[in-house]
Copies of this chain bind each other. A is one copy, B any other.
Amino acid sequence: MKRNSRLSLALHTLSHMAGEPGRVRTSADIADHAGTNPVVVRRVLGKLRQAGLLTSEKGHAGGWQLAKAADSITFADVYLALDERLVAGSGGEAEPSHCSVETGLQARVSEVLHDIEASLVERLRETTITDVHPSSCSYCGS
């Protein structure tokens, strides 16, 4: 895994689940397929569960599963569930500065970044999890 990894991992996993909705997957299985660690998987998917996109069951035969129809989950839902900010600096406020140039600057830049972040979310809202599942998929068997 490298960059953008939380969002990639989340979308990747959800997409596979969309291809085989009934199947319960363990974090170990998912981690193995994604080339990462079960704890990392649980961290990421835990956020999706908090957002109501997934359910998890503990104990024997436990694991993870979609909480709702795949075509009702958009990329934006996933993105927002993860608290990611792909637009650097679009969250958080500018530090106060004694310099009026700096202050005015930050205000302008922040405004632009905030707008761009919003339009990113709008774009992500156009795609659902079902939109990316190809006909040939060795993992889910479809």
**Chain A interface residues toward B at CB < 8 A:** 2-4, 7-8, 11-12, 15-16, 19, 33, 75, 86-89, 95, 99-102, 104-106, 108-109, 112-113, 115-116, 119-120, 123-124, 127, 131-134, 136-139
Given A3-B89, A112-B120, A116-B120, A136 and B100 touching (CB < 8 A)?
yes
Q: A4's closest neighbor in chain B, by CB?
A: B89
In the bound complex, residues from chain B placing their C-beta under 8 Å from that of A138 are 99-100
Excluding A87-B116, A100-B136, 15 further A-B contacts by CB distance (< 8 Å) are: A4-B88, A8-B109, A12-B101, A19-B101, A87-B87, A87-B88, A87-B120, A99-B138, A101-B134, A101-B137, A104-B133, A108-B127, A112-B120, A116-B119, A116-B123
